[in-house]
C-alpha cells in the first residue's frame, strides 16, 4: 500500500523524483528516430531506484519493454503485477525453463550450447540470441557471420525465438579508435539483421544509452536495427561517461538523504573515529550522520568528499563507520540534531551527484547508484507529494 508522507523521518533514505523520471524518458525519446521504442533497463533494482515503482511508472507512460539481469528480478516484477515484455539479459539455468514460461519471461540465449540445452527441456520459452560483436562477454561470435545467421535460422525453428541483440562496449567514448570500434560492432550487427529480415523477428536491438545518443542517428531510413534502444543510466539522469554531453533537461532522479544524530565540540589534538585517522588541529564542531558503509556509502570516502548540511558542504572526517559518518560542521552555523544531510542531490546552492562521488572513488555513477543498499528506504515523489510502500 502507498502511504503519503510529509517528511521521511528515517535514518537514511532516497527520494526518487518520478516527475524527473518522466522528463528524462520523454526528452530521451524525443531525440530518437520517430518509431524507435525504449526498452527500459531496470536491472539491479532499477540501478538502485526501486524496480517495482520505476517499472510501474514507466508502464503508465507507455513503456512496454523491460530488461533485467536475472530470473529472480524478473519473477519479482511479474509478481508485483508488471505486464509487458521482460527480457532477462543474463544466464538462467535451463532448469528454470518451466518458470520462464510460467511467468512469460524472455530468456537471453548466451551461446549455441545454451540454446541447445534450453531447447532440450521441451518448454516453449520465449528467447532472444545475444550476439558478440566485440565485447567478448556473451553471445554468438560475429567474426563468423555466416555461422551466426545459420545458427539463428536453425534455432528459430525449434525455439520460440523473438529476436536477437548485441551490446556496445565503447559507445560512450569519443576517441577515434572507439568510434571506429563501435561503428564496426553496429555494422556487423546490421549485416546479420539484414540477412535475417525474412524471419520478421520483432525484437532486434543493439543500442544502449550512449548508442541511442551518439549512433542511432546514423542509421538509414530502412535500417532493421533501430527499432529499440535499451535505455539504462540516462533514464536515471546520468551520462554513460562523465565526458558525454546528454540532452538538455535530463537530470538525476535520485537524491540520498540522512540526518544529524548529534553535534559536539572536539578539542585540539583529539581524533575522530576508528583508527584515529583524523586529528583536530583546532577546536572543531563535529556532527554525526546516520549513514555508513552498510548503507552503501563507500568506506573509501573516509576523510574524502563532503556531505551537504543547511545548504553548505561539510567535509567527511575520520573513517566511515558501518552505520554512521562524522563531518566537520565548524563553519556551518546552528547545525543540530535532526537536521537533514544530503549525500547525493542538492540543498540550496550546493549539489553532489553520483558522478562526483564516483570520481572520488575511481568508479562510475552506475556502481554508486546500485550500491545504495536495500536498508535505505525508497520514497517516491510526484507533483510535490512523497510516497512510500
Ligand atoms: C546494462 C545494459 C544496458 C544499459 O546500459 P546503459 O549504459 O545503462 O544504458 C543495455 N544492454 C545491456 C545488455 C546491458 O547489460
Indicate the pTM of the whole model.
0.97
Inform me whether the pLDDT recorded for 103 exceeds 50: yes
- Please state, for a pLDDT cut of 90, what percent of the chain lies above it: 95
Q: What is the dihedral of CA 8, 9, 15, 18, to 10 degrees?
A: -10
pLDDT digits over 298-316, tens only?
A: 999 999 999 999 999 999 9
Could you tell me if the CB of 167 is within 6 A of ligand 1? yes
C-alpha cell at 85: 515484455
Ligand 1 pocket mutation, candidates 172, 230, 234, criterion most atoms within 8 A of CB: 230
pLDDT band at 2 (very low <50, low <70, confident <90, very high): low
Could you tell me if the CB of 365 is within 6 A of ligand 1? no
Residue 43 annotated to the active site: yes
Q: What is the 3-state secondary structure (H, E, C) of 161-181?
A: EEEEEECCCCCCCCCHHHHHH
pLDDT digits over 316-371, tens only?
A: 999 999 999 999 999 999 999 999 999 999 999 999 999 999 999 999 999 999 99
Helix axis angle, 51-60 to 18-30, nearest 10°: 50
Q: Compute, in angstroms, the gap from residue 167 CA to the centroid of ligand 1.
A: 8
**What is the residue with the minimal CA distance to atom 15 of ligand 1?**
89
Query: In the beta sheet, which residues pair with residue 263?
Result: 287
The Cα–Cα gap between 269 and 278 comes to: 10
Q: Compute, in angstroms, the gap from residue 299 CA to the centroid of ligand 1.
A: 27
The whole-angstrom distance between residue 30's C-alpha and the CA centroid of its chain comes to 21
Query: In the beta sheet, which residues pair with residue 161?
Result: 127
| Cα torsion 102, 103, 109, 113: sign | negative
Given the residues 25, 28, 43, 238, the one annotated as active site: 43
pLDDT digits over 22-51, tens only?
A: 999 999 999 999 999 999 999 999 999 999
Residue pair 125/107 in contact (Cβ under 8 Å)? The answer is yes
Give the angle 75-76-78 at the CA atoms, nearest 5°: 60
C-alpha cell at 342: 544530503
- Atom number of ligand 1 nearest to Cα 240: 7
Given the residues 120, 274, 336, 374, the one annotated as active site: 274
Residue 366 annotated to the active site: no
The Cα–Cα gap between 45 and 372 comes to: 10
Give the pLDDT of residue 258.
Answer: 98
The Cα–Cα gap between 139 and 281 comes to: 58
The Cα–Cα gap between 212 and 277 comes to: 46
- Atom number of ligand 1 nearest to Cα 43: 1
CB contact burial 215-238 (16+ within 10 A = b; e otherwise): bbeebeeeebbbbbbbbbbbbbbb
Kindly give, in sequence order, each residue whose CB lies less than 8 Å from that of residue 314, ignoring residues fewer than 6 positions away.
Answer: 287, 306, 307, 308, 327, 328, 329, 332, 335
C-alpha cell at 293: 558503509
The Cα–Cα gap between 184 and 148 comes to: 16
Amino acid at each position: 500500500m502507498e502511504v503519503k508522507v510529509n517528511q521521511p523521518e528515517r535514518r537514511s533514505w532516497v527520494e526518487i523524483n518520478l516527475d524527473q523520471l518522466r522528463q528524462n524518458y520523454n526528452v530521451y525519446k524525443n531525440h530518437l528516430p520517430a518509431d524507435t521504442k525504449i526498452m527500459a533497463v531496470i536491472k539491479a533494482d532499477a540501478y538502485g531506484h526501486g524496480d517495482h515503482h520505476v517499472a510501474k511508472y514507466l508502464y503508465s507512460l507507455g513503456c512496454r519493454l523491460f530488461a533485467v539481469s536475472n530470473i529472480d528480478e524478473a519473477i519479482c516484477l511479474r509478481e508485483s503485477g508488471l505486464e509487458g515484455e521482460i527480457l532477462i539479459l543474463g544466464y538462467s539455468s535451463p532448469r528454470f525453463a518451466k518458470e520462464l514460461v510460467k511467468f512469460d519471461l524472455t530468456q537471453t540465449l548466451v551461446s549455441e550450447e545454451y540454446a541447445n540445452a534450453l531447447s532440450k527441456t521441451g518448454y516453449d520459452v520465449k528467447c532472444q540470441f545475444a550476439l558478440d560483436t566485440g565485447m567478448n562477454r556473451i553471445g554468438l561470435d560475429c567474426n563468423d557471420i555466416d555461422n551466426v545467421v545459420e545458427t539463428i535460422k536453425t534455432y528459430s525453428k525449434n525455439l520460440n525465438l523473438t529476436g536477437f541483440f548485441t551490446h556496445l562496449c565503447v559507445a560512450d567514448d569519443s576517441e577515434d579508435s572507439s568510434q571506429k570500434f563501435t561503428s564496426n560492432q553496429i555494422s556487423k550487427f546490421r549485416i546479420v539483421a539484414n540477412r535475417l529480415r525474412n524471419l520478421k523477428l520483432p525484437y532486434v536491438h543493439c543500442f544502449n544509452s550512449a548508442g541511442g545518443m551518439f549512433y542511432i542517428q546514423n542509421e538509414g531510413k530502412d535500417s532493421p536495427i533501430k527499432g529499440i534502444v535499451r535505455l539504462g543510466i540516462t533514464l536515471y539522469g546520468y551520462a554513460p561517461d562523465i565526458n558525454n554531453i546528454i540532452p538538455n533537461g535530463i537530470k538525476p532522479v535520485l537524491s540520498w538523504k540522512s540526518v544529524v544524530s548529534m553535534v559536539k565540540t572536539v578539542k585540539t589534538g583529539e581524533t575522530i573515529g576508528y583508527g584515529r585517522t583524523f586529528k583536530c588541529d583546532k577546536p572543531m564542531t563535529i556532527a554525526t550522520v546516520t549513514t555508513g558503509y552498510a548503507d552503501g556509502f563507500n568506506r573509501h570516502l573516509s576523510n574524502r568528499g563532503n556531505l551537504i548540511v543547511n545548504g553548505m558542504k561539510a567535509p567527511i572526517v575520520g573513517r566511515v563507520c558501518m552505520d554512521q559518518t562524522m563531518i566537520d560542521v565548524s563553519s556551518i552555523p546552528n547545525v543540530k540534531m535532526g537536521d537533514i544531510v544530503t549525500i547525493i542531490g542538492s540543498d540550496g546552492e550546493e549539489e553532489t551527484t553520483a558522478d562526483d562521488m564516483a570520481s572520488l572513488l575511481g568508479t562510475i555513477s552506475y556502481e554508486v547508484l546500485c550500491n545504495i543498499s536495500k536498508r535505505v528506504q525508497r520514497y517516491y515523489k510526484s507533483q510535490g507529494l512523497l510516497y512510500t510502500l
